[in-house]
Structure 1
Amino acid sequence: MFKKAFKKLFNIRSKVVIEKPKSFSTTAELYQPPQLKQQPSNIQPEVPQVTAVDVTSLFYSLLFPSIQQGGVANELEKNVFRRVEAALSAPKAIADRVLKLPTQVAALDKQLADETSDTKALLVLIEKDPLLSIEVLKLCNSPLFRRSEKEITSLQQALVQLGREQIRRFVTTSLMRDCIEIKPIYFRRFGSQIWRHSMQVAYLASELVEEDSESAFMLGLIHDVGKIAIFKLLLEAFKQAEPGEQPCSSLFKQVMTAKSLSLSALLVQYWELPTIFKAELGRLAIVDSKPAGGLAEAVWRANLISECSMLLEAGKLQEQQLNRLLMDTGIDRSGFDELHQKLIQF
């Protein structure tokens, strides 16, 4: 199945008390070390200890420079926790003020999904946004997605060569990038890494399902919008923080993961996207279990594969940890290695 993936891409929580949640892709079981050779009776063998891998906590080390092993939140983080709880109780405010969905997404996606819609009218709708047109053409001609040596120079040409489904993914991707972008230079790394991760998950999810790959792609692309919303709340909290105060506790990373999925589901509901996305994000928000079947399972697996790939690329994942995590992805090491070579191009 994964060899096919390389022949095509888009076809291809005053004091705040917070219980430490389990993370999105935490693995509960322990890795069982191989049997050791028989040792002399007077020598006690050293048994290697490989604890459960919290890959999501490791993943946040790619996003934040400061890491603490403890779970004590500082005042900045407590401020953010309060803001997150308020956002969960009033998603309309967060959607209107912090993370506003580009207005064209729903309209364009609906027309692109309708095969009977007029092609010329569709192109006119896209061309009304010059920046969107440029971004779509850049994606079409990027080394990762380019199909031939001939450069695509117009949207009409792109539609003819790539087809409606490909253009639909490119348009949605370009619009969602505006939603995810983090402006301040110091935090640009967070935005770029989350965006890269979202792109990888979208691609992988669409390849892991046999039906409705377009919905799988969209779900993968939007599953982390809650993280972006929480991070933007963090930027607001910095205005009241002590100089030099940073989000650095492991608890903060865990809370971002657990709460962000619930917030993603609420945002999708307020944005009035198809109900399937809220339902599947709701399943993903049950973070102490792996979803069984459907789009949620595909995104769960895709999320884990992407996190493993990005951590391995950054040299933050040990070989034993990777092998243990791959047991949950449903792919073997050779299949992962092939995917990893593809994902590092994102």
Structure 2
Amino acid sequence: MLFSSPFLVIPLAHKLANMFTRLLNKLFNKTPKTASNLYYFEDSRKVSTLDDEHKCQGVETQPKPISYRSFEDEYQQAFYDYLLGASPSQALTNNDELTDYITEKIQALLKQPKLILAALPILPASLTAIIAQLDNANFDTDELINLIQQEPVIAAKVIELANSSYYNRQQKAITELKSAFMLLGAKGLVEGVINGFISKMVPQSNVYFRQYGEKIWQHSLLTGINAKSIVQQSPLQGSAAQAYFIGLISHLGDLIIYQLMLGAFAIVHPDCQPNAASFKDMMAKNSKKLTYLIAKYWQFPPAILEVLALQAKMKKAALLPTLYKNRPLACYLYEANIISELQSRQKQFPLESQTIDDVANNLLFSEEAKLLLSQLLASTSLAKA
């Protein structure tokens, strides 16, 4: 049985931030709140001669060159650059003592995922009901609406979706749930509930994080939409709703790890930005595994856990033919993420046609995914440079 509990009105982002702050305070042995100096890292190492720039960047010694072994490695690195901003120069990146210090602490925490999971909220009752009925076209809509009405944050997101230009072509204001359902339909209501919960896990603590949070949320949304679109064109079209849900939650690990890093900086040096290459590498290596552990902690159905587990195990697109043969839904999700990364980067800086061709030839396998990419290329949403 999935967790079920009334949904607290307190925003998830705020609740998570408070929980992770307490966790990080223990991890970093923060000085008392009465202390005026927040630069714990420098104080703890008795460093008082470095200026703020050196505190953020460290002291250059012997730079180690960064190399990427394949087109796929470079592609993933470029996407994290899009999300978090370009990393500092190689010299500074590889010799930033503060970055090394925080990376070591976060990695130690990632080896104890139970501590992270304990800080997560339980699932709201409406999302629990949705997960149990993802591929059931005959679920009790009235019961779901009654659950949503008890959860103001989720209800607000459903009404917001009903007022979006995608659904509300006549631009008639929708102010209550029953009208929203009449407009959205059962599938739209499902998407609204899922979006409402996941989007509220995107913290908005400061300008830098809001920018990142918006990017990762849009990436999650695109992954869900792409996964649904690919599955709708496949023999598994009955699992389109499940594909959308899995795509939407598939980047929870990125959100949690980034929030931990941001919280760590707030403790040891609040003026630095967590955009070093080592952080991106840590996110790339751990985020999918953490996503799976979160889903397992929330007791998602085995079919969903299996797809997420395979995402964590997939290291190279070269394995897609085997994955497609044995677990096509997992293959579709992997490809949906690749296409979403391409869409996100293309919005910021138009990519060369050769890059897009390389993605199609090297990182996609299924005909359904390649068809979706062709459709996007033919539309204004992903025009060739």
Q: CA deviation at 1:64?
A: 2.3
Question: Match of 1:323?
Answer: 357
Change (3 A) 1:242 1:173: closer
Q: CA deviation at 1:308?
A: 1.0
Question: Match of 2:342?
Answer: 308
Question: Match of 2:178?
Answer: 156
Is 1:144 aligned to residue 166 of structure 2? yes
Question: Match of 2:124?
Answer: 103
Aligned partner of 1:221 among 238, 242, 248:
248
Q: Following the alignment from structure 2 to structure 1, what is the Cα–Cα distance between the partners of residues 113 and 360?
A: 35
Letter in 2 for 1:331: K
Equivalences for residues 248-287 of structure 1 within 5 A: 248-287=275-314
Contact 2:204 2:213 survives alignment (8 Å): yes
Is 1:60 aligned to residue 80 of structure 2? yes
Question: Match of 1:295?
Answer: 329
Change (3 A) 1:285 1:69: farther
Q: Following the alignment from structure 1 to structure 2, what is the Cα–Cα distance between the partners of residues 342 and 216?
A: 22
Query: Which shows bigger deviation, 229-238 or 161-170?
Result: 161-170
Contact 2:220 2:250 survives alignment (8 Å): yes
Letter in 2 for 1:143: S
TM-score calculated relative to the size of structure 2: 0.68
Question: Match of 1:177?
Answer: 199
Change (3 A) 1:268 1:84: farther
Q: CA deviation at 1:109?
A: 1.4
Q: CA deviation at 1:162?
A: 2.8
Contact 2:203 2:259 survives alignment (8 Å): no
Per chain length, whose mean CA-contact separation is higher, i.e. which structure has more relative contact order (CA < 8 Å, sep 6+)?
1
Q: CA deviation at 1:181?
A: 3.1
Change (3 A) 1:137 1:189: same
CA offsets per residue over residues 235-272 of structure 1, 9 Å max, x none?
22113434643334323212211211111111111111
Contact 1:203 1:217 survives alignment (8 Å): yes
Ranges in structure 2 where 5+ consecutive residues have no aligned partner: 1-44, 46-64
Q: Following the alignment from structure 2 to structure 1, what is the Cα–Cα distance between the partners of residues 268 and 276?
A: 15
Q: CA deviation at 1:131?
A: 2.9
- Report SS of the residue matched to 1:180: coil
Aligned partner of 1:189 among 195, 207, 211:
211
Higher percent of residues as helix: 2
Letter in 2 for 1:256: M
Letter in 2 for 1:326: A
Is 1:28 aligned to residue 70 of structure 2? yes
Seq. identity, %: 25
Aligned partner of 2:145 among 108, 111, 123:
123
Q: CA deviation at 1:53?
A: 6.4
Q: CA deviation at 1:193?
A: 0.4
Letter in 2 for 1:313: K
Q: Following the alignment from structure 1 to structure 2, what is the Cα–Cα distance between the partners of residues 111 and 286?
A: 26
Q: Following the alignment from structure 1 to structure 2, what is the Cα–Cα distance between the partners of residues 73 and 182?
A: 30
Change (3 A) 1:119 1:323: closer
- Report SS of the residue matched to 1:60: helix
CA offsets per residue over residues 154-173 of structure 1, 9 Å max, x none?
32233234322221111111
CA RMSD in angstroms, aligned pairs only: 3.1
Question: Match of 2:230?
Answer: 208
- Report SS of the residue matched to 2:94: coil
Q: Following the alignment from structure 1 to structure 2, what is the Cα–Cα distance between the partners of residues 59 and 127?
A: 38
Contact 1:66 1:247 survives alignment (8 Å): no
Q: CA deviation at 1:136?
A: 0.6
Letter in 1 for 2:128: A
TM-score calculated relative to the size of structure 1: 0.75
Question: Match of 1:336?
Answer: 376
